[in-house]
Structure 1
Amino acid sequence: MKTKLNSTVKLLPSSKEDDKLIMQFVDFIINSKLQMSASIYETALVASIKDADNKPLYPELLAQMITLQSKEWRNLSIRKESAVSHQAFLCTLVLVNALLKFNTNQEHDECIGKGIQFIQKCIPIIKDDTINFVGSEMIIPAQIELLIEQTNGRTDLLHQENIPILKSLLSNYESIRKYKLDNFSMKRPSATWFSLEALPENLLDINILNHFINKNGQFMSSPSGTAAIYKMNPDPRILKYFEEAKNATANKGLPITYPMNIFESIWIIGALINSDFSNQFITKNFKPLLDMIEGNFSNNGTGSAKDFPPDCDDTSRAVFSFSYLNVNSKYTVETLKQWYVENGKYFKTYHHEKDASMSANVHALQAFLESNDVSKTEKEHLWDSILTLLENNAIKESPTNIYWTDKWMSSPLYTAEGVIYTIINYQDQFPQRKTNIHHKAINWILTRQKDSGGFETYAEYGPTMEETAYALIALVHYVRYYKDQEILQNVEENTAFVQKLRVSIKRGFSFLEKNKEQIMNIDAHPPLWTCKALFTPYKISISYVLGAYFLSKHFLSQEELNLQKNSLSA
């Protein structure tokens, strides 16, 4: 098990400002109904629902999405391997298709034309990228086919010679799309059901689907999937669900998924653990979250919400959190074994998944290593397997710099933080299986720090508080472990390197300190998390930022105290 560290909050010099921030944070986490940013993707699909007169059921949503997306057409520079560029492409594609449904009198021609031009501009740049959103292998082909169908005969909007540009993207998804459709079944819910809006209607049985609409009117926490069912069967409960879901966002659009309270609760707890908040602080202030997670237990694990299929990632983090906090729970590592692929030596997040998530595998490894119910032999096997997976899937920016991309989070800093945290806190248990990937990941993290002291992945956003938080958590754990050990063979080089890391932490903390008043501002955290499109889970993002703020503040204050002690003893 990981060595428990002292409470970040308890050991900090007390200040009224810090106490106020902590109280504000706890109140927001426990009492606020806001969950995440609105998604143009989800909102446009709900806005495409027609009323009895074939007019928009939600005209105000359609108008709102036009205003938001038009900013992308004017200002965004399309970049390769940029999740932000993929976001703009997908949301434009979906919005154009929604407008085409209500373009009888060609009233939306100007907006549709600009959107199609933007789409055509994007495809040659992004078509060979490795970035994929959740369900994109189903959603993007379905939306491109719909665009071609809806513009048939409108060569003024989409000329025939430009159709091959659109179709050039379809081949990227052909294999995985076929695999998902071949394995699709109405007999058992799966992750493919989450992309219901992109499935051919001839595969769907509305009578079966109706049984999966819960009493609140939602289907698998997906507004777009629920909208697809409403078009087949206009259940009035669904309209109530849309209204409730809109209230979970700040600007009353539709969120990428709702509810997601289990995922949200699990990741908040995880952020606080990684930031070294004490067990007592977490269990006392966030007992309602722990109770909610425990209440959603099933023999198959847990998903992101009550009616969502269980998955390895949410279940792993739940198992880890209860073990780490020493809280009795029904969650055990036995549940996780259903997702382990023995011949590939990795964990799937969902059944029928073809590409592994690096962060989900790190979380599964943490759960096994933290458990008292796993043998040393099994821990050694998994430690070797997951390290090998990470070593083989690292992206080498240089011989000494590596990072990982992940399907659930667009920022590689998030995955790098998880890898470094895990290796630092558990490597002493496995002296026979060493690795250097955390050293190389730290080197890469340093390259992402900007003049402001903040860290960034996407130039479109610039340095963000959330990405700075991931970097700081990784750096603090790394320096605290290695400060009295030799990382490099040369002692002088080692001392200089550790000092370089300390300076980086100080600059990163200064960036958060300057933006301290914005930590609790939900609009100050741009969308980095990945689902069908990018989104910001307000409470999770803020938990990481606030946690990193106090973690690095405590680290720097302890460093200062140590310097004072050393000078006095000298």
Structure 2
Amino acid sequence: MNSVNPARDSAVTCSHHTEYAAAAGMPNLHEHLRTCAAALLHALGQGSVVPNTYSTAWQARLRIPGSADLLFPAAQQWLLDHQLPTGAWGSTIPLPHDRIVSTLAAVVALASNRQQATAPAPAQRAIEHGCDHLHSLADAWHNSDDETIAFEMTVPLLLRQAQELSLPLPYAAFQDLAMVREQKLRLIPRNTLMQEPTTLLVALETLTDQAVNFTQLSPYCQDNGAMGNSPSSTGAYWVATGSEKSRSYMEDVASLHPDGGFPEIYPASIFEWAWPLHYLGRADLLPSQPTPAFAYLRSMLRDDGTAAYDPHVDLPDSDDTAMTLALLVQYGLLPRTCLKALLSFESSEAFTTYHYERNPSVSANARVLWALRLWPQRFGQQIKKAEKFLLHHRQESAYWRDKWHVSPYYATDVVVQSLGGTSRFPLTGTANWIVETQHDDGSWGLAGGNPEESSYAVLTMEELSRHGRSFPAHTWERAAAYLAMHINDTEFAGLWIGKGLYTPVNVVKSAVLAGYTLALNKIHGDSLCRNSPTPAKPKPEMR
């Protein structure tokens, strides 16, 4: 794995199809598209979540026991190399929560390591530039919807550490957030934390100032040495316990990124296998027979039929469970009875992503709905519940937003697919919104448009068109022309919401390839790739 995309070197890459109309007439276009899909399938399992600032900054602060030497000195250089021209750190998409938490984490790490800096002057300039930028963001987070995970827990802690380092920051602007953190800390069920796995295991670095006995969490340290497969959380656990297994995990992750960066999460096998299979399948880009990846997904299910984002992680979630089960049922590899596992996430008004979740996720509920529709006679009550939840969260009668991804195009695509084209839910507003928000260059999305969000817009249009909606020809044509220029991209803006924004490259590449293929299909009126395995009839139910 490299720090950009392992698929880049693992298989033949695709040619740009800038002149998409001419390319569509080429006899070998079918092979070009399948070569792209084959490269992605070949790369699955290697890991493609690229490093982000938040995770790298926490690792940059770790020291070798009994020494002032840094455990990962290359992480400090990574931070210097990835500061943005504005002085901020974070995704190239300028969203306040991500910029604040990423920049804070970076300046605290660099300031903590002043004595170990190999280039003190550049490090000091980076700190000063970052602090200046944080002043410009002091009030921006109040009106932003794209809150990163554990923001209210992490930022007050980092600000306290920054104050101890005498960094000139707008502390008063975040006083309300400090109060929220104190209130939340009082609500944390300490007994539960010690008695069963919770999502706090993925964010232990946010509790390093609390009276938490980390050694009591050792039963939840995974076989690979990680805590929730989060390098930053594992680092906090290692500092408190000295676990050699956890240090080995972090060193293994570091070896995957020679430039010194650390990803938000590693590994995330089920997520990084299931989502690409889903997108490639929607564009008929899978081989004619189910690939070994489907068998691999089946093998990663837990004994109770649920799934987590990775089999090492003992935190099952409804999103990964629904995606995995739906894929396996669709292709005849599991009977529909397996879908009953999703009922463990059912609450009074919706489906939770994780147990103890306060605010249910739009995309997770949509994914559950999509899966349950494979057996509507059995899950009629649950289907109505999920539909009601989703319709309640529709914005401006047009689109949806979600807490796991910053783009409304991502959430809207998942919801539109889950609703299944039923006439009970007119989606005229959604169709109009898609057409009206396309940029002049054929793209959709933040910062003037980007390939990932554009792909979700095309996927949504294709889903709506399958159920009778029509779209102007030039909308498809401009989309195809734009995506053709990005079919070989290996770097994408961070749009997925973790503790910082992050990018699962192979997931994004599969969506871009699917979007481009579907746009060409609509333009030329025929499927370019028809060899994908046909979803099988459901297996007979087990009595």
Same structural fold, with TM-score higher than 0.5 when normalized by the shorter chain: yes
Corresponding position: 1:112 with 2:110: no
Inter-CA distance 318–258: structure 2 relative to 1 (3 Å threshold): same
Q: Which residue of 2 aligns with 1:519?
A: 487
Whether 1:550 aligns to 2:536 is no
Query: 1: distance between equivalents of 2:251 and 2:319?
Result: 29
Cα deviation for residue 353 of structure 1 reads 0.7
CA contact (8 A) 2:494 2:503 kept: yes
Aligned position for 1:453: 442
**1:126 corresponds to 2:141:** yes
1:92 equivalent in alignment to 2:59: no
Q: 1:169 aligns with which of 167, 171, 177?
A: 177
The residue number in structure 2 matching 1:30 is 42
C-alpha separation in 1, matches of 2:76 and 2:298? 36
Task: Give the Å deviation of 1:116.
Answer: 2.2
Name the CA shift for 1:252/1:270 in 2 (closer, same or farther; >3 Å).
farther
Q: CA deviation at 1:70?
A: 4.4
Tell me the equivalent position of 2:78: 64
Deviation at 1:98, TM superposition (A): 1.3
How big is the shift at 1:163?
A: 2.6
Where 2:429 maps in the other structure, the secondary structure is: helix
The separation in 2 between residues aligned to 1:219 and 1:75, in whole angstroms, is 25
Distance 1:312 1:407 in 2: 14
- Please report the TM-score for the alignment, with normalisation by the length of structure 2: 0.83
Q: Distance in 2 between matches of 1:444 and 1:29?
A: 33
Q: 1:302 aligns with which of 307, 310, 334?
A: 307
Please state how far the C-alpha of 1:60 moved relative to its aligned partner: 1.9
Contact 2:36 2:513 in 1 (8 A): no
Give the residue type in structure 1 aligned to 2:377. S
Secondary structure of residue in 1 paired with 2:398: strand
Q: Give me the CA root mean square deviation.
A: 3.0
* Residue aligning to 1:322: 328
Displacement of 1:293 in angstroms is 4.1
1:209-228 to 2 correspondences below 5 Å? 209-228=217-236
Q: 1:290 to 1:545 in 2, by over 3 A?
A: farther
> 2:168 is matched with which residue: 158, 179, 182?
158
Residue 139 of structure 1 pairs with residue 154 of structure 2: yes
Q: Which residue of 1 aligns with 2:60?
A: 47
1:403-422 equivalences under 5 Å are 403-422=399-418
Match for 2:352: what amino acid?
K
| CA–CA distance in structure 1, aligned partners of residues 142 and 437 of structure 2 | 26
Inter-partner Cα distance in structure 2 for 1:201 and 1:331: 46
The offset of 1:216, in angstroms, is 3.1
Looking at structure 2, the residues matched to 144 and 55 of structure 1 have their Cα atoms a distance apart, in angstroms, of 24
Higher helix share: 1
Question: Hey, what does 1:504 align to over in structure 2?
Answer: 475
Structure 1: which 5+ residue stretches go unaligned?
Answer: 1-11, 484-497, 562-570
Aligned to 2:541: none
1:413 positional shift: 0.2
The answer as to whether partners of 2:91 and 2:502 remain within 8 angstroms in 1 is: no
> In structure 2, what is the Cα distance between the partners aligned to 1:60 and 1:560?
48
- Determine which structure has greater relative contact order: mean sequence separation of CA pairs < 8 Å that are 6+ residues apart, divided by chain length: 2
Structure 2 SS opposite 1:144: helix
Confirm or deny: 8 A CA contact 1:123 1:165 kept in the other structure: yes
Letter in 2 for 1:446: V
In structure 1, distance between residues paired with 2:325 and 2:212: 35
**Offset from partner CA, 1:461-520 (integer Å, 9 cap, x none):** x3211111111111122123215xxxxxxxxxxxxxx353x321221112112x1xx424
Q: How many Å apart are 1:241 and its aligned residue?
A: 2.1
Task: Supply the distance in 2 between the matched residues of 1:368 and 1:163 (Cα, whole angstroms).
Answer: 48
Task: Supply the AA of the counterpart residue of 1:511.
Answer: Y
- Give the Å deviation of 1:76: 9.9
Does the alignment pair 1:469 with 2:437? no
How far the C-alpha of 1:420 sits from its partner, in A, is 1.7
Measure the CA separation in 2 of the matches of 1:526 and 1:62: 22
Moved more, 59-68 or 131-140: 131-140
Match of 1:5 in 2: none
Q: Could you tell me how far 1:530 is from its partner in structure 2? A: 1.3
Note the C-alpha offset of 1:227. Answer: 0.6
Q: 1:136 to 1:383 in 2, by over 3 A?
A: same
Alignment partners' CA distance in 1, 2:339 and 2:333: 15
**Paired AA for residue 34 in structure 2:** I
User: Is the contact between residue 363 and residue 411 of structure 2 (CA under 8 Å) also seen in structure 1?
Assistant: yes
Q: Which residue of 2 aligns with 1:439?
A: 428
In 2, the alpha carbon distance for the partners of 1:183 and 1:275 equals 48
Instruction: Tell me the CA shift for residue 252 of structure 1.
Output: 4.7
1:306 to partner: Cα distance: 1.5
Q: Could you say if the C-alpha distance between residues 267 and 31 of structure 1 is closer, same or farther in structure 2, counting changes exceeding 3 Å?
A: closer
Q: Report the Cα offset of residue 536 of structure 1.
A: 1.1
CA displacement 1:313-337 (0-9 Å, x = unmatched): 1101112111211212698222111
Single out whichever of 227-236 and 34-43 deviates more from structure 2: 227-236
Residue 249 of structure 1: how far off its partner (Å): 5.2
| 3-state SS, counterpart of residue 25 of structure 1 | helix
2:347 is aligned with 1:334: no
Deviation for aligned residue 1:542: 0.8
Distance, in Å, in 2 between the alignment partners of 1:454 and 1:512 is: 8
AA paired with 2:483? L
Quick one: which amino acid aligns to residue 59 of structure 1?
Answer: P
1:346 and 2:350 aligned: yes
The residue that corresponds to 1:375 in the other structure is: 377
Show CA shifts across 1:106-128 (max 9, x none): 95544333322222221212134
| Cα separation, 2, equivalents of 1:76 and 1:31 | 26
Instruction: Give the letter aligned to residue 362 of structure 2.
Output: M
Query: Are the aligned partners of 1:339 and 1:349 in contact in 2 as well (CA < 8 Å)?
Result: yes
> Whole-Å Cα distance in 1 between the matches of residues 94 and 247 of structure 2?
31
Q: Does 1:529 align with 2:496?
A: yes
**CA drift at 1:243:** 3.5
- 1:103 is aligned, of 99, 108, 114, to 114
**Displacement after TM superposition at 1:537 (Å):** 0.6
Identity level (%): 21
| Structure 1 position 215, deviation (Å) | 4.0
Q: Structure 1 189/34 Cα, relative in aligned 2: closer, same or farther at 3 Å?
A: closer
Residue identity opposite 2:321 in structure 1 = T
Tell me the SS of whatever aligns to 1:50. coil
Distance 1:304 1:405 in 2: 21
| 1:206–1:232 CA contact under 8 A, matched in 2 | yes
Quote the Cα distance in structure 2 between the aligned partners of 1:560 and 1:59.
51
Letter in 1 for 2:107: V
Amino acid at match of 1:116: C
| Contact 2:197–2:220 under 8 Å retained in 1 | no
Structure 1 pair 329–542 and aligned structure 2 pair: CA distance change class (3 A): farther
Deviation of the 1:223 alpha carbon: 0.3
Q: CA deviation at 1:56?
A: 2.1
**For 1:83-103, what per-residue CA distance to the aligned partner results, in whole angstroms no more than 9, with x for missing partners?**
633222111111122123223
Letter in 2 for 1:118: H
Unaligned regions of 5+ residues in structure 2, if any?
1-23, 529-543
